[in-house]
Amino acid sequence: MSTPGTIVGMSGGVDSSVAALLLQRKGEDIAGMFMDNWADDGSGQCRSADDRRDAVAVCGRLGIPLHFRDFSREYWNGVFEHFIAEYAAGRTPNPDVLCNREIKFRHFLDAARALGAGAIATGHYARVERDGASWRLLRAVDRDKDQSYFLHLLGQEQLAATRFPLGGLRKEQVRALAAEAGLPTAAKKDSTGICFIGERDFREFLSQYIPARSGEIRDPQGRVLGEHPGVFHFTLGQRGGLQLGGVRGREQAPWYVVGKDVARNVLFVDQGHDSPWLQSTTLRSEAAHWIGGAAPARRFECSAQVRYRQAGEPCEVEVRDDGTLQVRFARAQRAVTPGQSVVLYSGDTCLGGAVIASTNAPHPHSEVRTAQDQAA
């Protein structure tokens, strides 16, 4: 067997299937690699066996070798333990960001190099471009599918060795190419949500790892409205799952999570999608990662996303002495959530990003005391 020039990460989905197809049509010597990132926990929700079968079928159709690697231990140590610790602390982490850094562009890249390959390729919707002696990460042509937000922790070494064949295509073109080539994944539904949870109830899954402790649901003024099953089940701006019916003296309007006091086990809610308790104009981050190796300047203007599929928002960024960021937005942002990522762009170029630590949104839990505190 000849040494492949590029190893394609085969997930069993249509995107990675077409990524391999396009590289093969260019005459490149390729092979596939299927990664097991989550050990079957007996829930019946793990889709790995189905995805593995589809990856085998696609590689058989293309006539390319397929390698298998089990990264479940690496995923547990590098991604999942962090995920659980963040939820237990009352934050909302993004496991896809860490998975890309720790698994797909670290252990996968190492495994590909061990096979003698000089590059890896994936079905991500993003673009890599050489700029002199350095590499840039760019948004995909299809803005609705652009995944550069999840790739902002990549560095120069990873980008130099990575191919994104789908970066210049739209999703409908990808499916058309798969159907034309007779690939068995052409009509396969895109996977959504967090990979290791599957279709099961998120609250039930999380309760296996973080003991549930019920507590009070309060409005920002401190009035008790109901009871929650555990503050870590909820995130800022969330509407569903509160189980708050009609509240006497209040209009019939949806309630939204506007704050969490983990220490006192209190969940704060307010009515109105755009409640003032959800609005912020400034955020502070943890230490930032810069794709080019360093910040463009100590203070600069750019656009930022604080969640996936958000339009870029104009902002001013100040890089502090400890590497953390202070980001000031031109207009107020809704439900900016600690634990999520703020990702910075200059036009289509992704500059890097950081984990959100705090915002200047009002904090209801700093202004009221719980019934237990008052009784103490």
Same domain, 57 and 159: yes
Residue whose token pair is 């202004």: 367
Q: Which residues contact 125 (CB under 8 A, 6 or more apart)?
A: 15, 140, 142, 145, 146, 147, 164, 166, 167, 171
For residue 109, what is the domain's CATH number? Answer: 3.40.50.620
Among 164, 180, 196, identify where a domain stops: 180
CA–CA separation, 30 vs 16, rounded Å?
Answer: 13
Same domain, 238 and 352: no
Asked if residue 136 lies in contact with residue 349, where contact means CB atoms within 8 angstroms, the answer is: yes
Asked if residue 337 lies in contact with residue 295, where contact means CB atoms within 8 angstroms, the answer is: no
pLDDT category at 366 given cuts 50, 70, 90 is very low
Model confidence at 231: pLDDT above 80? yes
Same domain, 288 and 319: yes
The per-residue pLDDT for range 11-27, each reduced to its tens digit, is: 999 999 999 999 999 99
Q: How far are the Cα atoms of 264, 282, 370 from residue 376, in angstroms, in the given order?
A: 13, 36, 10
Q: Into how many domains does the chain fold?
A: 3
Half-sphere exposure of 13 (CA within 13 A, CB side): 17
Same domain, 23 and 146: yes
Q: Which of 99, 302, 315, 350 is catalytic?
A: 99
Mean pLDDT over all residues of the chain? 91
For residue 229, what is the domain's CATH number? Answer: 2.30.30.280
pLDDT computed for residue 201 by the predictor: 74
Q: Is residue 334 part of a domain?
A: yes
Same domain, 101 and 248: no
Q: Is residue 207 part of a domain?
A: no
Same domain, 296 and 242: no
Among 227, 243, 276, identify where a domain stops: 276
Q: Is residue 321 part of a domain?
A: yes
Same domain, 53 and 142: yes
Asked if residue 265 lies in contact with residue 90, where contact means CB atoms within 8 angstroms, the answer is: no
Query: What domain range includes position 235?
Result: 214-276
Q: Is residue 205 part of a domain?
A: no
For residue 343, what is the domain's CATH number? Answer: 2.40.30.10
Model confidence at 376: pLDDT above 60? no
Among 227, 261, 276, identify where a domain stops: 276
Beta carbons within 10 angstroms of residue 36's beta carbon = 17
Q: What share of the chain is helix, strand, coil (3-state, %, to 5)?
A: 25, 30, 45
Q: Is residue 35 part of a domain?
A: yes
Model confidence at 44: pLDDT above 80? no
Same domain, 226 and 355: no
Same domain, 291 and 350: yes
Q: Which of 59, 195, 302, 350 is catalytic?
A: 195
The per-residue pLDDT for range 93-119, each reduced to its tens digit, is: 998 999 999 999 999 999 999 999 999
pLDDT computed for residue 368 by the predictor: 46
Residues 244-249: what's their mean pLDDT?
71
Query: Helices marked H in 164-215 — which ranges?
Result: 171-180, 202-207
Q: Which residues contact 194 (CB under 8 A, 6 or more apart)?
A: 95, 96, 202
Residue whose token pair is 């001013």: 316
Model confidence at 372: pLDDT above 60? no
Q: What is the pTM of this model?
A: 0.92
DSSP per position, 101-128: IIIIIIIHHHHHHHTT-SEEE---S-EE
Q: Is residue 340 part of a domain?
A: yes
Name the residue among 191, 147, 160 with its Cα closest to residue 343.
Answer: 147
Q: Is residue 149 part of a domain?
A: yes
pLDDT computed for residue 235 by the predictor: 94
The per-residue pLDDT for range 279-317, each reduced to its tens digit, is: 999 999 999 999 999 999 999 999 999 999 899 999 999
Name the residue among 231, 204, 201 with its Cα closest to residue 216.
Answer: 231
Same domain, 232 and 327: no
Half-sphere exposure of 309 (CA within 13 A, CB side): 2
Same domain, 286 and 264: no
Q: Is residue 159 part of a domain?
A: yes
Same domain, 228 and 302: no
Model confidence at 52: pLDDT above 70? yes
Whether 302 is a known active-site residue: answer no
Whether 350 is a known active-site residue: answer no
Identify any residues that bridge with 218 across adjacent strands, giving them in sequence order. 224, 268
